[in-house]
Chains A and B, each alone.
Chain A
Amino acid sequence: MSKVLEVKNLSVAFELRGKTLKVVRNVDFDLNKHEVHAIVGESGSGKSVFTKAIAGMLDANGKITQGEVALGQKSLIDLRKKEWVEIRGKKLAFVFQDPMTSLNPLKKIGHQLVEVIKLHQKVPHSEAKGIALKLLKDVGIQEPEVRFNQYPFEFSGGMRQRVVIANAIACQPEVLICDEPTTALDVTIQAQILRLLKDLKDRYNMSMIFITHDLGVVANIADRVSVMYAGEFVESGTVEDVFYRAQSPYTLALLKSLPQLGKKGEELFSLKGTPPSLTEEIVGDPFAPRNELALEIDYVESPPFYEISKTHKVKTWAVDPRAPQREPFDFLNLIEDNKALDHEVKTDHHHPNKIVSFQDLSVHFKKGKRIIKAVNNVSFDIFEGETFALVGESGSGKTTIGRTIIGENHINSGDIIFKGKSLKKGLDKHLKKEIQMIFQDPMASLNERAKIEYIISEGLRAHYSKKELEDKMVLLNSILDEVKLPRTVISRFPHEFSGGQRQRIGIARALVMEPKFVIADEPISALDVSIRAGVINLLNRLKEEYKTTYMFIAHDLSIVKFIADRVGILYKGRLVELGYAHHIFNSPQHPYTKSLLNAIPHPDPQVEKVKKIIKYEGEFTGSEVFKEISDGHYVLM
């Protein structure tokens, strides 16, 4: 296998607020011809900075402090602007995460493509247009001649990403670097884009570097995998090596955190602690402080690379012959064991009380002259004490429903009944105490200029007098203990905390109100994979203690399977399937549900690589009825 890209001893440092951050520390990396080499890591691992450094695209305060990067024979270190123009686009191309901002909103799609082609291939306009049209067809855009003359805002997220990919491969680069290209997309679209990328790789003879934090996606697309932590690669090997024969403690932690390995009713494995500070010298193994099985030497000396096989190498002391034997981690067995859901689930929806009831709920939005029916005649009930999951992709209406319950959106027709009271006219103060919400983005849901103490007690201040507030302080302190945050956080500001910690603050804020009903709007989708499990465990535990009812809004079905009692599937504003979790997952009826379940990337390379995609693009005729086909299981047909 010839090497297309080779990196040796690369280090990258940033200047921030007067301090130096060592973001990438002495890494080696290579890319073979025609392979997909995936880099897996969480936030702060350095994976994006690493690829940007290779392409010479670091921010102004970043610098390559040492190392070599060679694309074929040519070195990519210290090139001048003119030399980069020859490389970028032609030999090395990038696909970024956010398709909304990767395209110029003021220029037509076709124009942007033709621009790129003319720049690198130096052909006349008519020929460039022909190439562009062929490219659009290759990336799966229907009616390319029509789409050629449209603007980005006329495209959906998935289609925009296809155009971005078209832009990237326009000049048939040797190396395509994809930085989380599907993270911002719906799961069904993600499946299609991954297949497209694999297809294009073969057709255009490219080699790919694929950055992601999602192990399911890795199982789908990668040939080789490198796991990155605190600026260095801790494990590297073929995709089977890393999934089935993982050796590094960090890789094992990532695999153990997968919800597919979780058993319902038990706690998910979660990683404690946070990644190390990048400004200080890291002594020994950077993962040691979070590793329960750390050895004494992990705190003293940095481990070397051990070769497990010709393809597989690991940077950890745990595989040294002198280290104690660890318990074997049989990935394949664990994932098989927990596949089917427990069948002994109570189906006692005839008995408990309804706490919330949605009756023919419709919420419309006006966009100029058009009316968008975000929520269209949705009816279902939520029972006291259960965890109900509302699942759907973008445009399904799930977020709208959540926001409508708390009074942000106006109800057009139908009603929401909460404990016998109608919410049609909005919420009065008393109801606001009982219904609370946990928000999706921990970076946006806290007031940056307020102290944590104010943030958590904000709800209390609105509802209780000064004297009553003092009594509530006891409750506040105990909530802080529950979410595993020390009491000293109250005098700090949000920017001092990581995403996972901020989400815990958001949870504390909602729960200190002692609500009866909590709406969790995608509470973990913005968090790192290893942190998600901790938050889920916390939510489950709090539910037990405070006896609240949860409505989980999610698009990640693998987590839903683990926590939900009952599930409702939304598609384009309508409820298409409703029932107990094990019914939905073990025997889905509606074609959309089937396509949704199929699209989730399964973190097992053997299974994922041969999976066939089920596509669903249905339209509603308006004459469908919600029918009960078995105990508590309803389908729209």
Chain B
Amino acid sequence: MENQKMFKYANRKVEEYHLNTENVYSYWQETFKKFFRSKMATVLFVGVISLLLFTIFYTLFSKTDPYAKSKMIRDWNQPPSAAHWFGTDQLGRDIFARTWYGVKTSLLLSLTVGCIDMFFGVLAGLFWGYVRKADRFMTELYNIISNIPRTIILILLSYLLSPGFSTIVLGLCMTGWISVARFIRNKVFTIRDAEYNIASRSLGTKTRTIMFKNILPFLVSIIILETAITVPYTIGSEVFLGYIGLGLPQSTISLGTMVQAGISSFQAYPSQLMYPTLILSFITVSFYLLGNKLSDVSEPKNYE
């Protein structure tokens, strides 16, 4: 039973300000926590990291020479064996080794293109979206550049410069950045006149500072998405270019050249196409799914 004493005034001080600890969290910590809560994301993430690490270590430390041809016919087009895990191709070269060297080249290519495209694309898109006066000029520029077919550019460049790694990078980047810029520009439009940006303008903050401190952080999820899509897209482009004869030269090992070779010997030895294709598919699908997932979890839906 309650004591009479309990019914006296407590006279405790009323706190004016109280920090709600459940609201204290770090944005990136929460993003990664959410990301790893998904089983699919975790599995794919582990898979991709293993693949990357394996590629790096194999190409650095393996003793198998992917260029080693054999003069003996019986070494040509061998099925998988203890000596050659993926078998050999029409010149007796070890497909297993070639696959991993190919992955290295293709990933290097797509990451290079990805980074250059994103860097210039984001800067251009920020400027295009935020600075009102730039819209007209940039839109016209976009209309011109995006209408030039990439294939024509690549053919021209291959003709002018010798086909190689830097040619393809140059060709793919020249037209790629503007689509990224367009994407970014559209997103910038939606937050350009949000109250916190009006506030920054009324405080006298420089335009440059507003672009990088106010707008850019909100583009993070869309940047992640774009980057993650660029990688498989570039690898796909490289394969396609190889298929039509504009890709890397046959002397370079890449997934594109592997697929090219595999297609020509497909009728007789279908397995030679299968291995690079499997790895290629895994990379493409994983990057796409992981990119989407990371982009989803980094999008702040509600600041509860």
Contacts and interface: CB of A to CB of B under 8 A. Distances in A.
Interface of A: 16-19, 21, 272-274, 277-279, 288-301, 317, 320, 322-324, 403, 406-408, 429, 432-433, 435-437, 439-441, 443-450, 454, 458-459, 461-463, 484-486, 492-498, 501, 506, 509, 513
Contacts of A509: 199, 203
A16 B304 contact: yes
Contact of B25 (A17, A317, A513): A17
B221 to A, nearest CB: 12
Interface in B1-57: 2, 4-10, 12, 14-25, 27, 30, 33
A493 B25 CA distance: 9
A444 B33 CA distance: 25
A407 B202 contact: yes
Given A492-B24, A497-B23, A498-B20, A439 B198 contact: yes
B213 A439 contact: no
Contact of A324 (B8, B14, B24, B209): B8
A444 B191 CA distance: 10
Nearest to B30: A17
B278 interface: no
B275 interface: no
Contacts of B304: 16, 495
A444 B196 contact: yes
B195 interface: yes
B27 A493 contact: yes
Contacts of B202: 406-408, 432, 435-437
Contacts of A289: 12, 14-15, 18
Nearest to B303: A495
B136 interface: no
A273 B303 contact: no
Kindly name the residue among B20, B23, B202, B300 whose own CB sees the greatest number of chain A CB atoms within 10 A: B202
Nearest to B12: A294
A145 to B, nearest CB: 38
A552 to B, nearest CB: 17
Given A289-B14, A447-B213, A324 B7 contact: yes
B217 A273 contact: no
Given A301-B2, A408-B201, A496-B24, A446 B196 contact: yes
Nearest to A16: B304
A249 to B, nearest CB: 12
Contacts of A433: 204
19 contacts: A16-B22, A16-B304, A17-B22, A273-B14, A278-B22, A289-B14, A294-B10, A296-B8, A406-B198, A408-B198, A408-B202, A432-B202, A445-B199, A462-B206, A484-B16, A484-B17, A485-B17, A495-B25, A506-B199
Contacts, number: 149
B64 interface: no
B204 A459 contact: yes
B273 to A, nearest CB: 44
B18 to A, nearest CB: 5
B194 interface: yes
Given A324-B7, A458-B203, A273 B15 contact: yes
Nearest to A318: B7
Interface in B178-214: 194-196, 198-206, 209, 213-214
B9 A439 contact: no
Contacts of A437: 198-199, 202
B218 interface: yes
Given A277-B22, A279-B22, A501 B17 contact: yes
B23 A496 contact: yes
A407 B266 CA distance: 68
A295 B7 CA distance: 6
Contact of B14 (A272, A279, A296, A301): A272
A611 B30 CA distance: 52
Contacts of B16: 272-273, 484
Nearest to A317: B7
Nearest to A288: B10
Contacts of B2: 297, 301, 322
A294 B9 contact: yes
Interface residues of B, number: 44
Given A17-B30, A408-B201, A509-B199, A496 B19 contact: yes
Interface in B59-112: none
B247 to A, nearest CB: 41
Nearest to B19: A496
B303 A443 contact: yes
Contacts of B25: 17, 495
A274 B20 contact: yes
A459 B17 CA distance: 25
Given A292-B14, A447-B196, A497-B23, 7 more contacts: A274-B18, A277-B21, A291-B14, A294-B12, A436-B203, A441-B195, A496-B19
A21 B20 CA distance: 13
Contacts of B194: 444
A300 B6 contact: yes
Kindly name the residue among A301, A433, A448 whose own CB sees the greatest number of chain B CB atoms within 10 A: A448
Interface string B274-304: 0000000000000000000000000010011
Contacts of A494: 303
A447 B200 contact: yes
A19 to B, nearest CB: 6
Nearest to A500: B17
A166 B18 CA distance: 44
A482 B233 CA distance: 56
**Complex A-B, nearest 4 residue pairs according to Cβ-Cβ distance, in ascending order:** A459-B203, A495-B303, A297-B6, A449-B217
Contacts of B205: 458-459, 461-462
Contacts of A463: 204
B5 A296 contact: yes
A477 B5 CA distance: 42
A191 to B, nearest CB: 29
B137 to A, nearest CB: 21
A174 to B, nearest CB: 33
B24 A458 contact: no
Nearest to A496: B23
Contacts of A458: 200, 203, 205
A272 to B, nearest CB: 5
A463 to B, nearest CB: 6
Nearest to B24: A496
Contacts of B217: 447-449
Contact of A439 (B21, B33, B199): B199
A484 B14 CA distance: 13
Nearest to A519: B202
A439 B195 contact: yes
Nearest to A485: B17
Nearest to B20: A277
A480 B20 CA distance: 19
Interface string B204-238: 11100100011001100000000000000000000
Contacts of A296: 5-10
Nearest to A431: B204
A290 B14 contact: yes
A556 B274 CA distance: 71
A435 B204 CA distance: 11
Contact of B203 (A293, A432, A485): A432
A273 B12 CA distance: 13
A403 B198 contact: yes
A19 B22 contact: yes
B293 to A, nearest CB: 18
Contact of A273 (B18, B21, B214): B18
A445 B5 contact: no
Given A458-B200, A493-B27, A322 B14 contact: no
Contacts of B14: 272-273, 289-292
Contact of A295 (B9, B17, B23, B198): B9
B187 to A, nearest CB: 15
A401 to B, nearest CB: 14
